[in-house]
Structure 1
């Protein structure tokens, strides 16, 4: 696969015009194509992105874009959580064009490094059980499943899951 080796993959801050809009569009299109989710999911993503864009503190939250040969193929956000010293990992996505290059793991690694530097003690995330590849990435970084609950969202019956990672050293 020499062609695959020639691809230039980078992870950078989501700070360019068009980045935030791409996140919303890519989530809407990808989740509809893969899982048949309706526009309610895109609305949820748009709210998360709008909140981030309007009021994020760059010392407490950040977002990253993965690019392949200069084209956006992935993203992740770290936002302030509901409690002090707790951050939320949000909106991890790698499009089919970017898969197989460990970009999801690179995005999560950037997110967790930032969380540690910002002084967070814990990172939480909410996902759904159908997102198997993302869950494998979270587990590889040490996230543990806290609870799960059935819900009907985005036009489907799903099982939502809450995961957490303690950033403080143990022992």
Structure 2
């Protein structure tokens, strides 16, 4: 386990998250620039309607170097939150940064009073899917689609927060 420090969003972080995830997912899963556009749209929508009482972004750092992030965003249902844009740098995957980010999201969602935490992922992201399952998320739906230059299987996962 490494010493991961979580901090709040500051100027430049959204561009970094978009940049790093676009590059990593292109390298690891051959996703094209359509994925980068999706990342940019999610970040723009987040900032446009950001509610600090109901949402949060954590940037994970080790020795002041960004190694990951996650967004907790309001869902369309006021009792549901969405976990979005989780990523961890490849060189520290498996060292606890992802778990730290997901745990922070779950704890904050419970503190806010959300009843459920929902996320969307892809079947190819096996490490992320194992992380979600370890934290109690359950896959509730899947759908094949062609996006980002690939044939993919999107998955929706849900966590009942017990509230």
- Per the alignment, residue 98 of structure 2 pairs with 104
Which structure has the greater CA radius of gyration?
Answer: 1
Moved over 2 A (4+): none
**Residues 121-154 of structure 1 deviation map (CA, whole Å, 9 limit, x = unaligned):** 0000111000011111100111011010100011
SS at match of 2:130: helix
- Per the alignment, residue 59 of structure 1 pairs with 53
1:132-143 to structure 2, matched below 5 A, reads 132-143=126-137
The normalised TM-score by structure 1 is: 0.91
SS at match of 2:162: coil
Give the unaligned 5+ runs of structure 1: none
* 1:12 equivalenced with 2:15 (yes/no): no
1:113-132 to structure 2, matched below 5 A, reads 113-132=107-126
- Per the alignment, residue 40 of structure 2 pairs with 46
- Per the alignment, residue 151 of structure 2 pairs with 157
Alpha-carbon distance in structure 1 between the residues aligned to 2:4 and 2:109: 23
The normalised TM-score by structure 2 is: 0.96
